[in-house]
Chains A and B, each alone.
Chain A
Amino acid sequence: MSAPLMGDASEPTLFEFSSPGRRAFSLRTTDLPDVPMDALVPRPHQRGEPLEIVEVSERDLVGHFTRLAHRQYSVDLGAYPLGSCTMKYNPKICDEAASLRAFAGVHPATPPSAAQGWLQVLVELEEMLCEITGMAAATLQPAAGAAGELTGLLLMRAYHAAKGDHRTRVIIPDSAHGTNPASVTLGGYEVTTIGSDERGCVDVAQLREVLGPDVAGIMLTNPNTLGLFEEDIVEIAAMVHAAGGLLYYDGANLNPILGVVRPGDMGFDIVHMNLHKTFATPHGGGGPGAGPVAVSQRLVDFLPGPRPVRASGGVGFELVRPPASIGRVHSYFGNSLVLLRAWSYIKLNGAEGLRRVAEIAVLNANWIRASLRDLYDSPYDRPVMHECVLSVASLKRATGLRALDVAKRLLEFGFHSPTVYFPLIVEEALMIEPTETESPETVAALVVALRTIAEEARADALAGVALRAVSSPRTTPVERVDEARAARQLVPTFDASSYHH
């Protein structure tokens, strides 16, 4: 048994706090009357022995989680320039909307006639997302980005199957998110990878070569994972459509085009959005997310159902099942409170505000690129969108400094690390996405920190001393962990039996 300690002591697990018979003195209460257990579960089916779970006091429990929280870094604490993740600050009013009892307290099985307010939120959100992306209709069910990808690929499959058209391949550029090839495989297709050209964009000549009657579609992120806008998108769309394929838009990078350009106008047929990235939900801790999928007119009949829609009579809202629906991809309406956050974020910003989000996000990323390109490599050296990809390759050759070391050292300056070693086509990559929510002062401080790290590595190398960054971080609650050993000697379970006393 462990005593909870502050200071440098490592935090025990809850199992180690456990003591037989110890109880918390408050429990969450509900408005519902108590029902005797025998009325719910027949006695022979009730557990005879108490469940073997941790037994701790409320005081120890609160202390445990508060201490853990104090050791964490979060979006609420400071800048989080994690590329491709859009870790922006989320306005608290969106959380407040999601905690309104009138919404949070509604059971999802409530009949539509008694949940008109909720259905209105869902229908309005779908309409706003379709307006933003330039699409005809959407499903709000998918639980997050990868679930949206799979939904989109199943829609692609249903579309071709309905025409009796058997297609087997989906094309993906080599700069794509790792989830794309995984979703393609899960959707029953084979992946065909194409390269990027010297601009960092889709190699159109290569695309022309691999297109054919067996290609179901292409998955693109625009701007792509190098933070670059695919300038040939209209030509690409025409080529893919001429070959009978569909265009899938991975919405992970939607933030910098809000209110500026729409995937539907570029020629995309299927668009997933990461509401938890673009439209205000704290994420990164495993969810929950929301990955709505919007489609062009010819795919509307295949959408998951039931769908909340405006009632045919013109008043109120009802649920309908699209005629050729692929079925449910989530219970009820998806992660509804995330949807409510997104609804309130969009209402809060309005059309003008969303365009401003995109503009500031792009400005911040370009400011960072322009301020660092003399000390770090800028492999595709041209204006970027919401994020910039820099490389530590030259610094590594000169000093031994690696992208991982830069990321670890940056923690000591009070920032979260950027994404490292992605996209895979850039050696020693640093992928920095400042987002629009950081002030000019914060962006400037991030630039100073990254310049300092590069300069001190050169100074350390010149002086012949060990690079400071190699042993960073030393000022954080947890110092550098041995990632390789953690992966090689994986212990994913906690052995509770060794803590019984």
Chain B
Amino acid sequence: MVSDGGVRYDAAMTIPENLRYTSYHEWARLGENGIAIGITDFAQEALGDVVFVDLPTIGSVLNVGDKLGEVESTKSVSEVYAPITGTVIAINEALGSAPETINTDPYGEGWFCVIEPTDEDGFAALLDAAAYTELTDH
């Protein structure tokens, strides 16, 4: 979203090169202590103002595609799915009191949780930025 003389236009969605994506609009970032998960700029824009976030519990063991949590906006409730197989080792508890962070900083402070993967190839199998851009560009 950019501002131009007070009129808002949809800019091309931000899709960082260093992340991986799912067709359900989650992103994944490879770090030293696991893989951080969140929802994309495209997803937060489509959802609108986020008012409530339901996070997984630490220690949950998830398979690819399992329900990870929920994001509720003023428009609808959407489920967030696990992009990779593994164990939840951290959650972003700050979203509880500031769910709007998902709207303002979806790839940064708006992260959802961190998963320690049990499947080495899971991350590499996700969409890269180019493939995700093509998916959202239709």
Interfacial residues, chain A to chain B (CB-CB below 8 A): 396-400, 404, 420-421, 424, 427, 460-461, 464-467, 483-484, 487-488
Contact = CB atoms under 8 A, between A and B. Distances in A.
Given A421-B76, A487-B52, A488-B51, A466 B6 contact: yes
B99 interface: yes
A397 B10 contact: yes
Nearest to A396: B10
B39 to A, nearest CB: 16
* Interface SS majority for chain A: helix
Interface string B1-40: 0001111111000000000000000000000000000000
B75 A464 contact: no
Could you say which of B9, B75, B99 has the most chain A C-beta atoms within 10 Å of its C-beta?
B75
Contact of B4 (A396, A464, A484): A464
Interface string B62-76: 000000000000111
Contacts of A399: 7, 9
A484 B8 CA distance: 19
A484 B101 CA distance: 13
A473 to B, nearest CB: 17
A400 B7 contact: yes
Given A421-B76, A466-B7, 16 more contacts: A397-B9, A398-B9, A400-B7, A400-B10, A421-B75, A427-B46, A460-B7, A464-B4, A465-B7, A466-B6, A467-B7, A483-B74, A484-B49, A484-B74, A487-B51, A488-B99
B54 to A, nearest CB: 14
Given A400-B9, A465-B6, A487 B74 contact: yes
A421 B78 CA distance: 13
Nearest to A424: B76
A237 to B, nearest CB: 30
Contacts of B8: 400
A396 to B, nearest CB: 7
10 contacts: A398-B9, A421-B75, A421-B76, A424-B76, A465-B5, A465-B6, A484-B49, A487-B52, A488-B52, A488-B100
A421 B8 CA distance: 20
Contacts of A464: 4-7
Nearest to A488: B51
Contacts of B51: 484, 487-488
A467 B48 CA distance: 18
Contact of A483 (B6, B10, B49, B100): B49
A398 B9 CA distance: 7
Contacts of B5: 464-465
Interface string B35-61: 000000000001011111000000000
A1 B8 CA distance: 45
A464 B9 CA distance: 11
Contacts of B99: 488
Contacts of A465: 5-7
Contacts of A396: 10
Contacts of A460: 7
A458 to B, nearest CB: 11
B9 to A, nearest CB: 6
Contacts of B52: 487-488
5 cross-chain pairs, A with B, having the tightest CB-CB distances, nearest first: A484-B49, A400-B8, A487-B51, A464-B5, A421-B75
A461 B7 contact: yes
Nearest to A484: B49
B93 to A, nearest CB: 16
Contacts of A466: 6-7
B90 to A, nearest CB: 23
A460 B9 CA distance: 12
Could you say which of B9, B10, B52, B74 has the most chain A C-beta atoms within 10 Å of its C-beta?
B74
A484 B50 CA distance: 7
Could you say which of A400, A424, A460, A466 has the most chain B C-beta atoms within 10 Å of its C-beta?
A400
Nearest to A393: B10
B4 to A, nearest CB: 7
A396 B1 CA distance: 11
Given A421-B76, A427-B46, A484 B7 contact: no
Contacts of A398: 9
Could you say which of B8, B9, B46, B52 has the most chain A C-beta atoms within 10 Å of its C-beta?
B8
A276 to B, nearest CB: 25
B31 to A, nearest CB: 29
B106 to A, nearest CB: 16
Could you say which of A466, A467, A484 has the most chain B C-beta atoms within 10 Å of its C-beta?
A484
Contacts of B100: 484, 488
A421 B76 CA distance: 8
Contacts of B76: 421, 424
